[in-house]
Amino acid sequence: MTTDAPAAAAEPVADAPKPEPIPVEELAKITDEVIVQLKTVYDPEIPVDIYELGLIYKVDLEDDRTLKVVMSLTAPGCPVAGEMPGWVQEAVQRVEGVNKAEVELTFDPPWTPDRMSDEARLSLNMF
């Protein structure tokens, strides 16, 4: 003989604990290393790294250690448009303390040479 037992009420899933904020000293160290890694990525047509070119618009490290990068290219038709975000992601994922990296490509606002550092301008003889 079989009986149908009433279905057990679903227990609410406990929210995952929120990660602790990253200590200031560690955040400073990660920030410095992210910049070092960004400076290893070059636009193949310009002999200056993407950080000094001003292609990095925003970098945000969340408490769960996800690093979010918003970047642009010198032109929407850049031949490496499909590859460069991957290069950036690979570079910043090497940083100790970063669990995951996400790179978003944007053209708003469009990149202009005004975003370049003085170091980049000097390298390109733009003074």
pLDDT of residue 63: 92
Domain locations in the chain? Answer: 24-123
CATH topology for 24-123?
GMP Synthetase; Chain A, domain 3 (3.30.300)
How far is the C-alpha of 85 from the C-alpha of 89, rounded, in Å? Answer: 6
pLDDT of residue 61: 95
What 3-state DSSP class applies to 32?
Answer: helix
pLDDT at 44 over 50: yes
CB of 115 closer than 8 Å to CB of 53: yes
Q: pLDDT: is 124 or 91 the higher one?
A: 91
pLDDT at 99 over 70: yes
pLDDT at 12 over 90: no
pLDDT at 125 over 60: yes
Longest dimension (CA), the chain: 91
